[in-house]
Chains A and B, each alone.
Chain A
């Protein structure tokens, strides 16, 4: 199985900050990588697919990069509504796997 590693598990930042959240796969997953945002009590929301493609309706301050084993989600200027938990997920092979999540908290 492919393991997805997100570290750190939590991150403190301020409104207006640029934030990067890393994700590493235990083997190459090409670009079969998605990023999700989840707020408490809500379903996950797709932000980025195919490692770097922005999902329709998602603000352009979100961007993704990487391929192979190393990926990054970047938020260029944090807004109050961005404080949430972020997950990476691979669809390269079954079983699909998620990272442990990175909780973005207000500093």
Chain B
């Protein structure tokens, strides 16, 4: 079964660091585009970061310089290292898979989400 399972969320003080994990089964992380998407309480979806199958990465301006996306091919796992956390980083964080185009298939597999709360 194709599945993504996130972990690593929790309560963290402003300025702190947290690493989220997203473990895949049923497909190979390194062969796909993998994104992190977040959703603040009561708000819409916000794309955060992507790692392409070739290893290139890209970030939303809101997290650039503070967050780092990476993957461990041996563990078939995606990560999001989050540093210098702020209150407005509070959100449910989802990982999502996208097959490299062409053709374009969209982000077709999502994890269940992990909650990050930044508060003192």
Question: Contact residues of A with B, CB < 8 Å?
Answer: 31-32, 34, 36, 38, 43-46, 48-50, 55, 87, 89, 91, 94-101
**Interface residue B79 (Cβ < 8 Å from any Cβ of A):** no
**Interface residue B50 (Cβ < 8 Å from any Cβ of A):** yes
Question: Contact residues of B with A, CB < 8 Å?
Answer: 35, 37, 44-47, 50, 58-61, 94, 98, 101, 103-108, 110-113
Closest Cβ neighbor of B58 among chain A residues: A94
Q: Which of A45, A55, A91, A98 contacts B44 (CB 8 A)?
A: A98
Q: A96 to chain B: which residues have CB within 8 Å? A: 35, 47, 50
In the complex the two chains form, is A50's CB within 8 Å of B104's CB?
Answer: yes
| Closest-CB distance, B114 to chain A (whole angstroms) | 11
In the complex, number of A-B residue pairs with CB atoms less than 8 Å apart: 63
SS class, residues of chain B in contact with chain A: strand
Given contacts A91-B104, A94-B50, contact A100 B58 (CB under 8 A): no
Bound CA span A96–B34, Å: 12
In the complex the two chains form, is A55's CB within 8 Å of B108's CB?
Answer: yes
In the complex the two chains form, is B47's CB within 8 Å of A43's CB?
Answer: no
Q: A49 to chain B: which residues have CB within 8 Å? A: 104-106, 108
In the complex the two chains form, is B112's CB within 8 Å of A91's CB?
Answer: no
In the complex the two chains form, is B106's CB within 8 Å of A91's CB?
Answer: yes
In the complex the two chains form, is B113's CB within 8 Å of A43's CB?
Answer: yes
Q: A100 to chain B: which residues have CB within 8 Å? A: 44
In the complex the two chains form, is A46's CB within 8 Å of B107's CB?
Answer: yes
Bound CA span A44–B96, Å: 10
